[in-house]
Amino acid sequence: MTRVNDRLKDRAILVTGAAGAIGRATAERLSIEGARLVLADRPGTPLEQICTELGKGHSAAFYDAAASGSGETLVQGAVAALGRLDGVCNIAGVYGKARSTDVTDVDWNLCLQVNLTSAFTIARGAIPHLARTRGCVVSTSSLAALEGLAYSTAYAVAKAGIIAMTKSLAAEYASAGIRFNAVCPGAIRSGMSAAKPVPDADPDLTFRRSKLLGFEGGLGEPRDAAAAFAYLVSDDARFVSGSVLVVDGAQFQI
Q: How far is CA 35 from CA 5, 15, 39, 75, 249, in A?
A: 11, 11, 12, 17, 28
Q: How far is CA 133 from CA 127, 137, 180, in A?
A: 10, 12, 14
| Residue placing its CB nearer to ligand NAD in the complex, 5 or 52 | 52
On whether the CB atoms of residues 158 and 111 are closer than 8 A, the answer is yes
| Residue placing its CB nearer to ligand NAD in the complex, 33 or 248 | 248
Strands 244-247 and 59-62, sheet pairing? unpaired
| Least Å from the CB of residue 92 to ligand NAD | 4
| Least Å from the CB of residue 143 to ligand NAD | 6
| Residue 173: active-site member | no
| Least Å from the CB of residue 104 to ligand NAD | 17
Tell me the backbone φ, ψ of residue 214, rounded to 5 degrees.
Answer: 100, 5
Residues that bind ligand NAD (CB under 6 A): 17, 19-23, 41-42, 45, 63-66, 91-95, 114, 140, 142, 185, 187-188, 190-193
Q: How far is CA 59 from CA 53, 78, 98, 253, in A?
A: 12, 9, 36, 40
| Residue placing its CB nearer to ligand NAD in the complex, 22 or 178 | 22
| Residue placing its CB nearer to ligand NAD in the complex, 79 or 187 | 187
| Least Å from the CB of residue 137 to ligand NAD | 14
The CA distance from 104 to 196, in Å, is: 18
- What is the longest distance spanned by two Cα atoms in the chain? 53
The CA distance from 104 to 204, in Å, is: 25
Residue nearest to ligand NAD (CB): 20
Instruction: Indicate the DSSP class of residue 188.
Output: B
Active site residues: 155
